[in-house]
Amino acid sequence: MSNPIFVALDTPDLDRAIEIAKSVKGHVGGLKLGLEFFCAHGHHGVHEIQKLGLPIFLDLKLHDIPNTVAKAMQAINVLEPAIVTIHASGGRAMMEDAKAAANGHTKVVGVTLLTSLDERDMDRIGYSGTPHDQVERLAALAQEAGLDGIVCSGNEVKAAHKLWKDGYFVVPGLRPKGGALGDQKRAVTPQQARDNGASVLVIGRPITGADNPGEAARAIEATL
């Protein structure tokens, strides 16, 4: 992909999402639609965003029993997303069924550890080891299950890429140099993530929260 930036249109306001997408269109490689957007607008909203002609990343983080996730994947196949997320912690069978149910051109990637979590959070929810340990563990499981790749933070993508040479690595929670971290605990810059092996750079608030989203996207693009 010539431009790895996918801007996160995480808003329930369809008109605002379209406005931002039009503003950044010339400086990004695709558009990410998450739960907030999808719960508000469903298939109709996705179709409206698709009219802009950019690849769509459906960040739904599907996580349920294998049969339910497979049926959910079948239900969104008509939208022909470029990328769909599931939770790798759902297990190998769930990941296998999700991949089998997806369209052939859709990349199915497993979320390893949310970028809002750190080692203390992991301990509280019962995950052993460090964030690196968890990412490597679930990356190996996702590869065994036949997924295309994983979602991980920029701190872990280098190690994951070393283990999975041809994996597809989606890195969210990115913050340009000097940007506010917000609720992201393991953020790096877009350039660092790209240099460490990221295939897709997911960037939200640093672009969508800017006075001029198009200029913000252009500035980030220029650093890559």
71 an active-site residue? no
In the set 22, 25, 51, 61, the catalytic residue is 61
Crossing angle of helices 92-101 and 131-145, in 10° steps, is 50
Q: What is the rounded CA–CA span in Å between residue 218 and residue 210?
A: 12
CA pseudo-torsion sign 78, 56, 39, 148: positive
**Position of tokens 């965003």?**
49
Per-residue tokens: 90: 């759902």
Q: Which of 9, 68, 5 is nearest to 36 (CA)?
A: 9
Tell me the CB-side half-sphere exposure of residue 77, using CA atoms within 13 A: 15
Classify residue 178 by burial, with Cβ atoms within 10 Å: 0-12, 13-18, 19+.
exposed
Catalytic site positions: 61
